[in-house]
Amino acid sequence: MELPPSIFVSHTAIKSMAQLLGTKPVLSTVLPVFIRGKYHPTSISVDSSSPYSPPKPLQIFTPSEHGIYPVILFFHGFYLYNYFYTDLLRHISSHGFIIVAPQLFNIMPPSGPDEVESAAKVADWLPSGLPSVLPGNVEANLVKLALVGHSRGGKTAFTLALGLANTNQNFSVLVGIDPVAGNSFCQINPKILTYIPCSFNISIPVTVIGTGLGPESKGCMPMPPCAPKGVNHEEFFNECKPPCAHFVATNYGHMDVLDDDPSGLVGRFSDCMCVNGKGPRDPMRRCVGGIIVAFLNNYFEGEKVDFMTIANEPYVSPVKLDQVKFNIEGCD
Ligand SMILES: *[C@@H]1O[C@H](CO)[C@@H](O)[C@H](O)[C@H]1NC(C)=O
Ligand SMILES: *[C@@H]1O[C@H](CO)[C@@H](O)[C@H](O)[C@H]1NC(C)=O
């Protein structure tokens, strides 16, 4: 990935000036990707019994303003509901994206292969089904189609990008949010990690966002970590081919991209299963949402400045980012 230095002049200048004066750098403006965008998202629920019969129930977020927008297919995590991500998805949609978030299980989580198969069916439904459920003034541009997933949904997104699912759809970019491929003992099927660097046969640009606390176990309870070493973001990044970027939110945990108070029993469960960050979740959601918006704008619109700024000056993010890396050394 090219990193032209010239466009960082302003931030870099502020930073060197601050160093000269011995103060912390203070940026005069917040990067716009980290705050709500100019569009007003509306949400649309489409259940499987609707006349447009999507293969799975969908939660859709779309700008309400007239326009043609890129599309994001978003996969929720293991045993989580798509509506637990409302705040994050609204943030992204407010920057001009249509988001389609299927609910991939009803009562019991499906097997790995079934989940991937359902995800592929939703991807294939998009060209015929999505236009019929969008407001009349909104058009989906499926030539710009992103795969994004959290946790096991991140792994599902990688599986589709690897071409291991039965879909005709082409994808343009891929984001894994704290992706997890299994537990400490085994990968869930279909197994995609090979433990060989650069081995993913994926030709589209990839961003992997990890959490620092995901690999930690919850205190005295006999709970396994939510994103164990060996099957988490680090290994997903290691197996990526360039262009691939890696960001780690050091002080946050696996569930911290969810809404503040996910409802119901499953919501309670999601709150206590993993080690959570001590800080409020809002900055973490804005950080993850902002990285995704900047990454997509980089590849879809050729707007490089925001993404490169986050990469080169990670302190502009609302939460602390570490291990910011581009590409793996040794990949061709
Ligand atoms: C995906 O790309 C291939 C090759 O460019 C093309 O033939 C095919 O029609 C595309 N599929 C869709 C669903 O657009
Ligand atoms: C990688 O994927 C491409 C296109 O999907 C395929 O043609 C190629 O054979 C694959 N390479 C390997 C090493 O599997």
CATH at residue 60: 3.40.50.1820
332 vs 147: CA distance, rounded Å: 24
> Is 205 inside any structural domain?
yes
**In a mutational test of the pocket of ligand 2, which residue from 169, 194, 201, 202 has the highest number of ligand atoms less than 8 Å from its CB?**
201
> Is 67 inside any structural domain?
yes
Residue 232 CB-half CA count within 13 A: 21
Which residues pair with residue 71 across a beta bridge?
98, 145
Instruction: For residue 127, give the ligand 1 atom closest to its CA.
Output: 13
| Domain count of the fold of the chain | 1
Determine if ligand 1 sits within 6 Å of the CB of residue 169: yes
> Is 204 inside any structural domain?
yes
Ligand 1, atom 6, lies closest to the CA of 170
Instruction: For residue 143, give the ligand 1 atom closest to its CA.
Output: 14
Q: List, edge to edge, every strand of the sheet that includes 244-249.
A: 41-46, 58-63, 98-102, 67-75, 138-150, 173-177, 206-211, 244-249, 321-326
Q: Is 150 a catalytic residue?
A: no
> Is 94 inside any structural domain?
yes
> Is 17 inside any structural domain?
no
57 vs 119: CA distance, rounded Å: 11
Q: Is 254 a catalytic residue?
A: yes
Chain length of the chain: 332
> Is 3 inside any structural domain?
no
Q: Nearest 10 degrees: CA dihedral of 224, 230, 234, 240?
A: -140
Instruction: For residue 201, give the ligand 2 atom closest to its CA.
Output: 1
Query: Which runs of consecutive H residues, i.e. helices, occur in 134-220?
Result: 152-161
Residue range of the domain that includes 250: 31-327
Determine if ligand 1 sits within 6 Å of the CB of residue 170: yes
Find where tokens 């079934």 sit: 114
Q: How many CB atoms lie within 10 A of CB 87?
A: 16
- Ligand 2 center from residue 161 Cα (angstroms): 12
pTM: 0.91
Ligand 2, atom 7, lies closest to the CA of 201
From the candidates 118, 172, 254, 259, which is the catalytic residue? 254
- Ligand 1 center from residue 171 Cα (angstroms): 10
> Is 184 inside any structural domain?
yes
> Is 8 inside any structural domain?
no
pLDDT by position in tens, the chain (length 332) = 444 433 333 445 445 544 555 455 555 568 999 999 999 999 999 998 878 889 999 999 999 999 999 999 999 999 899 999 999 999 999 999 999 999 998 878 888 899 999 999 999 999 999 999 999 999 999 999 999 999 999 999 999 999 999 999 999 999 999 999 998 889 999 999 999 999 999 999 999 999 999 999 886 566 789 999 999 999 999 999 999 999 999 999 999 999 998 988 888 888 888 999 999 999 999 999 999 999 999 999 999 999 999 999 999 999 999 989 888 777 86
